Structure 1
């Protein structure tokens, strides 16, 4: 029995050492690829489509402040204030999903949680994966700045079929660099993030159009965001 405990103890130490080092390394270097990007490539191949993986890492200051403000307005308005978790949003999502069993699940994830999920984990909704998501969210909030979290988010997030990150999306949809996005263009990209494979920023449905207007209104309310 003592051997089992020693093995478990060593395994836990190795897990913490490796994952903490992994997070620290990604504080300084671009994320080369994510599990979701690999998964989507396999899904495209399975569906008989040509594999498409468009991504182009750009530095934080090469992304329009309009897009940074738009995703905060759309996805996580308390981003600069919380430590990775918006407990009020999580509670509301829990209550909503409990009442709407069998229907589309509503999420309460912050931008930090989305980064943890996209960069370090596989897709899915199991409690085990959620536990790892919370762990990695905690780590990036400790070891990364809000500026770095936003930089990674806007470089790896899925923004269309085979399109990842602000630069690839800007060139795909508007034939321009991410730094040149207007307020409406930024709001349009932010509006499709919940369903980037279903929605389009250049051919928005009535639902997406309403969301764009709402995001632009919140962008005005938020004003400039000072990232640390």
Structure 2
């Protein structure tokens, strides 16, 4: 945990300073391009995090691994936060570029659906008194909702949308200058490390909480069994 937190904060500090101070403005977007240094990493984390949630759900349903259930439970609020930041920064970028805060095109709508899937999973796993039932229900929802991830990814290719197509992950050379691409990649690495650190910290806290509850329950049973 200390190494992960230190790496996340160091890389993120470097990336943010590079992006906000030393990288040049875009020739078309001007200073507005700096929103991209948060928006793009959050979009990748929203999709990548949900892919991780689907993998944890498979581990939960097939192998019944309790740590997979616990990690999925703690992952969904963090994934929802990343998706919310993606939507918010996208709206901030869309207003000066498109002249509107929101359009119901395929990319934006599918990301909004992804946000609701994150919220739905976070609520569903906590809606049952029995944690195992909640974990099973949340795993099924996560796997069904995973069909939305490729829709988010390829929506700009499948439909005519206002959102620009892939600029970094397309085949061949990225469609942006290295002075913008490199700080974007450093920011992405920093946000990814921070995302992992937060999820790991939440999972560790949940494991410790479960152990404390088990010890309290065992102590209460021993006290009940002890004759007066």
Instruction: Give the TM-score, by structure 2 length.
Output: 0.28
Higher Rg: 2
Structure ranking higher on relative contact order (CA contacts 8 Å, 6+ apart): 2
